[in-house]
Amino acid sequence: MLAVIGGSGMAQLPCLEISHRQIIRTPYGEPSGPLTFGKINNHEIVFLARHGHGHIIPPHAVNYRANIWALNSLKPKHVIAVAAVGGIHADFKPGMLVIPDQIIDYTYGRKFTFFEGTEQPITYTDFTYPYCQITRDYILEAAKQANEAVIDGGVYAATQGPRLETAAEINRLERDGADMVGMTGMPEVALAKELGLCYATIAVVANHAAGRGSSVLAIPLAEVYAILEKAMVNVRNILQQAAKYNGN
């Protein structure tokens, strides 16, 4: 089974032939919404909208632990997370798709681990390579089969949100080595790593980050949504190809 987490611009998966929806209870509360089950190209898919039905849950309020726990209970072979980002690197232009290979965490106050409390021993998770390389290769091959261009690799800066960043903050992120900025990468990938899930991200560059590009005075949000809508077609093409050989 392939699991897909939809972010901004992907509250549903139109290419999915839905069979049923299911609410999964977890020790960490309820996920963002019911999990949607169905098939793409006759292969089983489960879909979860990260921000809930109607895109109502802001990034800092997402119950990441419940979401990842619920998906893990289904034992998917791969988890593909779709996330909108702002492009910091000059080559990361609006509309492009990136498969990040590293992440820097700037979030705070989020429930970021399953290993807490005095009733269990301290557990350390190797986070040298946060994204599953097997799943990254799987996405890259699907993109190739779908004839969709993607950038292989990049550093994702995860910020708190829901506000966007200042130009000075983006300058700092660039000095830190970040290529793109988003609000949902952490702790999602870390939680997946703790449970041993094969997890990777398709990052959709929705806009130039603050102070970048031609619109240096402000980020044109109306244009962002139009870019996302168009880019999600490319993402769906990749997911459809991924579903074809998910069982291999």
Count other Cβ atoms within 10 Å, centred on residue 152.
13
> What's the token pair of residue 151?
């950038």
Output the six-digit token pair for 148.
Answer: 């969709």
d(CA 114, CA 247): 29
Annotated binding residue 32: no
Can you read off the two tokens belonging to residue 169?
Answer: 């903050």
CB neighbours (10 Å) of residue 21?
A: 12
184 is in an annotated binding site: yes
Q: Is 78 annotated as a binding residue?
A: no
Q: Is 49 annotated as a binding residue?
A: no
- 237 burial class (0-12, 13-18, 19+ CB within 10 angstroms)? middle
How far apart are the C-alpha atoms of 41 and 3, rounded to whole Å? 15
The reply to whether 183 sits in an annotated binding site is yes
Say if CB 92 and CB 100 are below 8 A apart.
Answer: no
207 among annotated binding-site residues: yes
Show the tokens assigned to 173. Answer: 């992120």
Instruction: Report whether 50 belongs to an annotated binding site.
Output: yes
Determine whether the annotation assigns residue 248 to a binding site: no
Is residue 130 reached through a cis peptide bond, with omega within 30 degrees of 0 on the bond before it?
no
**Residue type present at position 130:** P
Residue ranges at the known binding site: 8, 50-51, 183-184, 207-209
Residue ranges of the annotated binding site for phosphate are 8, 50-51, 184
Binding-site residues for substrate, in ranges, read: 183, 207-209
